[in-house]
Amino acid sequence: TSKVLSTEAKISAQPVGVGAEAPEINLPNPDGKLLSLRALRGKVVLLDFWASWCRPCRMTNPHVVEMYKKYSSKGFDTFNVSLDGLDDKRMMMYQSDANALAQATELERSKWKQAIKDDKLTWKNHVSELRSWNSPVAATYQVNSIPKTFVLDRKGVIRYQDLRGEELEKAIKTLLAE
């Protein structure tokens, strides 16, 4: 097991960016089922960090929906990581009341689910720790503002970062052709 740990430590120590293998994400979907980014190997993937409360994120969603409709049958998929939820500071407010914490977390989950529905994000890969800015996955990917996107090739390597609109579509087409 020491070899596994050292490999994991190396992966988490590497900077995440173009040319690097995307670190694994294995988080619950809105219904609590764990979904894995690695399970999408073999597809071109848009890894999209967003939140229901993020206006710029919500404004880019219609274009992502369009890309998904256009290219999902050709080997493209989307993996959304939501930064909805409670950060450490908000969680501290509930430290003595487990029921209130559970209710606040459930409210955050429902806002996330409603945004998925309202924006017609029909793909199945929606995950979140419901930890807002204290998301360990967001930290791994060095996400300090959203929307934040990464485009992964079929091998799980990050090939593009922070593309929108035509640039995003061009990247998807390029990778699907490889």
pLDDT tens, residue by residue, 152-163 = 999 999 999 999
Cα–Cα dist 14/157, whole Å: 13
Contact (Cβ atoms closer than 8 angstroms) between residue 11 and residue 155: no
Q: Nearest Cα to 176, choosing from 150, 154, 161?
A: 154
Q: Is the pTM of this model over 0.85?
A: yes
Q: Nearest Cα to 48, choosing from 172, 155, 134?
A: 172
pLDDT tens, residue by residue, 5-61 = 444 444 445 678 899 999 999 999 999 999 999 999 999 999 999 999 999 999 999
